[in-house]
Amino acid sequence: MANVRESCHCVRIQDLPEEILERIMSFLSPYNDCKNASLVSRKWHRLMQGVTKQRQQAFFHAARSGSLTWSHKEYSGNSLLARCMHSACFVDGIMYMFGGMIPATANTHSGTCFCDLQMLDLRDRTWTRLLATGQYPSPKAGASMVHHSGSLILYGGWAPPVPNPPHQPPIVFNDLHMYDITRNHWRAVVTSVSPPPLANHRASLLGDLMIIFGGSSGSRKKENDVWVFSLKSMTWNRMEIDGKKPPARDKHIQVELDDGHILIIAGLGNLDKELHDVWMLDISEIPWCWREIEVKDKAHAAPKMFCHAACKIDECVVFFSCSRTSSNSCRNLSSQMSTQFRHRQLRDHPSPASQSHHSTKLRGVETGSLKDLHPQVKRLCNKTNENSSQNSEMNDSNLLSVRDSSAHTSNDSIPVGCPCSPGCTCKTPVTFKLSPVECRIAPNNLGFSSPLPSSIYHGEQQYVLDISRAVNASQVRWLEIPDQNVEHIPEALYPSMCVGRAQVIRFGGFHLDNRCPRAINNQYYAY
């Protein structure tokens, strides 16, 4: 018996078979634990490289096959303000988020924009508001933000006029700000030449060039110019590109294929025309040129791409949008959103009896390492009015001013309120960190939390656009993805979406419901 005890005490974790070690390592967080484990020994470094590669391959396969699995986290209290149309960027295990807005209420007819900078540490999934020094950008939404050499580059955006009288268009910006991550410092970049004020445009970073395409200038006119900002010379240039050009648009999807090609997908054109075309900007040779890309199998395309989230994963662009068969909230979008990017004719509204505020009861999940969690994910029912008018004009920028649709049979409305408190006045952000989540569930073998347990009514579907032949054959193809009847996430308009380390992070957005339209501060993770 003594020999048995002695032999048991001599067994170390290094003595375990490699298969068991790989299994244990697959539970570690890809953001911090994997790096620490790889520093233990050469053997562990080799095993962690294999685990990381397997996790990445599984993630690519799930993205292409439409089988991404979602987990959910939402916050309680007044800490994290709900918002939509904010800017987000992933940098070294941290997601940075700037600005955004809370939609307008029926009483104010004006939304509330933010100028706060927040960071989501994906190691423990906690938010921190950053109190930076320097020249803060104006509160705004619809700005572009990219990362370059330790700095976040923020351009453009829009905000409601302050004060906001009737018949006034929103303010559109053309200012450029850079945030130094190490110094926690904002600075404004002033140039002699700059693009026109733009919002809802898109920006891509290729080398030392930030390339901007599209956007809206505050009127009903959309743009199709290409502007380039050189991070070496700190100057703007408008590129003159001959030949056929893509139609003017905003709210499109813009992804980098390689160091010399940028793909432009869908968007909203002039007169609020929904676009489904695909174009490629070729900058690999001089002069630059546009190439129209053939789109195959359009029957499998995602609906309403201009207001839903998308991201590039490997050789695919993955969209999360409403179902083709049950897209009532999308169909009612035009009737429930008024136009703030044009001169508005305000209507009289009866005073509502009470203010409806978003309940943010904490029922989230937190993942990343070996933790015991048990979530209860609240089912969100986005029931919409089937009788709403489908012929209302789609708003020019969809800047989310929600009021009653003229097609509704009742004039009663529930205005959107600030999710903080009835008397909350949102101000310049202060530094704080949210408390850790108390309820935890056991993660699966990929190191992420358990998936959503059941289907959610009017949830989003996954759509996949194969872009592997875009450069060589000027062709993309929509893949046939079966309808995901389970593990839906609730539909959100204008959320942010970033690709982390073998996972997708979606935050915020605008939850369009027939009775209670509101901005949300929930975050979802797909792996």
DSSP per-residue codes, 68-130: --EEEE---TTSS---BS-EEEEETTEEEEE--EEPBPTTT---EE---EEEEETTTTEEEEE
**131-177: pLDDT as tens digits:** 999 999 999 999 999 999 999 999 999 998 776 666 778 899 999 99
Burial of 187 (C-beta count, 10 Å sphere; 0-12/13-18/19+): middle
List residues bridging with 187 in a β-sheet: 178
55 with 154, same domain: the answer is no
**Does pLDDT of 233 surpass 60?**
yes
**Tokens 């999940």 belong to residue:** 365
**Does pLDDT of 389 surpass 60?**
no
**Does pLDDT of 46 surpass 80?**
yes
Q: Which residues touch 4 (CB under 8 Å, ≥6 apart)? A: none
111 with 39, same domain: the answer is no
Phi, psi of 169 (to 5 degrees): -75, 165
Q: Which of 64, 93, 120 is the last residue of a domain?
A: 64
36 with 185, same domain: the answer is no
In a domain, 283, yes or no: yes
In a domain, 384, yes or no: no
Q: Is the peptide bond before 170 cis (omega within 30 degrees of 0)?
A: no
Q: Which two tokens stand for residue 26?
A: 């697959």
The Cα angle at residue 105 between residues 102 and 110, in degrees rounded to 5: 70
41 with 130, same domain: the answer is no
In a domain, 364, yes or no: no
332 with 474, same domain: the answer is yes
Read off the CATH number of the domain in which 191 is found: 2.120.10.80
**Average model confidence (pLDDT) across the chain:** 76
321 with 420, same domain: the answer is yes
**Does pLDDT of 489 surpass 70?**
yes
Listing DSSP states for 215-256 in one string gives -B-SSS-B---EEEEETTTTEEEEE---S--PPPEES-EEEE
Distance between CA atoms of residues 315 and 96, nearest Å: 25
In a domain, 459, yes or no: yes
**Does pLDDT of 507 surpass 90?**
yes
Read off the CATH number of the domain in which 33 is found: 1.20.1280
205 with 330, same domain: the answer is yes
**292-328: pLDDT as tens digits:** 999 999 999 999 999 999 999 999 999 999 887 655 4
On whether the CB atoms of residues 384 and 458 are closer than 8 A, the answer is yes
The Cα angle at residue 60 between residues 59 and 63, in degrees rounded to 5: 85
List residues bridging with 525 in a β-sheet: 71, 505
List residues bridging with 264 in a β-sheet: 254, 279
Q: What domain range is 458 assigned to? A: 66-345+393-424+441-526
pLDDT at 109: 59
Distance between CA atoms of residues 334 and 114, nearest Å: 25
pLDDT at 421: 38
In a domain, 91, yes or no: yes
pLDDT confidence bin for 79, thresholds 50/70/90: low
pTM of the complete model? 0.76
Please choose, from the candidates 518, 516, 519, 329, the residue with its C-alpha nearest in 3D space to the C-alpha of residue 414: 516
Q: Which of 64, 86, 119 is the last residue of a domain?
A: 64
**Does pLDDT of 65 surpass 90?**
yes
Q: Which two tokens stand for residue 79?
A: 């800490």
24 with 87, same domain: the answer is no
Longest dimension (CA), the chain: 89
pLDDT at 3: 54
| Torsion sign across C-alpha atoms 26, 29, 31, 32 | negative
Please choose, from the candidates 445, 98, 94, 506, the residue with its C-alpha nearest in 3D space to the C-alpha of residue 318: 506
Higher pLDDT, 344 or 272: 272
In a domain, 362, yes or no: no
Cα torsion 323, 328, 331, 337 to 10°: value is -120
On whether the CB atoms of residues 173 and 224 are closer than 8 A, the answer is no
Distance between CA atoms of residues 250 and 202, nearest Å: 8
Least confident range from 38-42, 368-372, 449-453: namely 368-372
On whether the CB atoms of residues 305 and 321 are closer than 8 A, the answer is yes
DSSP category for residue 395? P
Percent of the chain at pLDDT > 70 equals 67
Number of H helices, E strands in the chain: 7, 36
Higher pLDDT, 359 or 137: 137
**281-294: pLDDT as tens digits:** 999 999 999 999 99
Residue type at 454 in one-letter notation: S
On whether the CB atoms of residues 47 and 18 are closer than 8 A, the answer is yes
Please choose, from the candidates 496, 508, 522, 499, the residue with its C-alpha nearest in 3D space to the C-alpha of residue 62: 499
Distance between CA atoms of residues 115 and 456, nearest Å: 33
Distance between CA atoms of residues 472 and 288, nearest Å: 17
Residue type at 361 in one-letter notation: K
Q: Which two tokens stand for residue 252?
A: 């499109």
In a domain, 518, yes or no: yes
41 with 168, same domain: the answer is no
60 with 134, same domain: the answer is no
Outline where DSSP puts E strands in 366-522: 401-402, 432-433, 459-466, 475-478, 489-490, 496-499, 504-507, 510-511, 518-519
Burial of 346 (C-beta count, 10 Å sphere; 0-12/13-18/19+): exposed
35 with 161, same domain: the answer is no
How many domains does the structure of the chain reveal?
A: 2
In a domain, 385, yes or no: no
47 with 150, same domain: the answer is no
For 207: left if phi > 0, alpha if psi spans -120 to 50, otherwise beta; the answer is left
Helix, strand and coil content of the chain, in percent to the nearest 5, comes to: 15, 30, 55
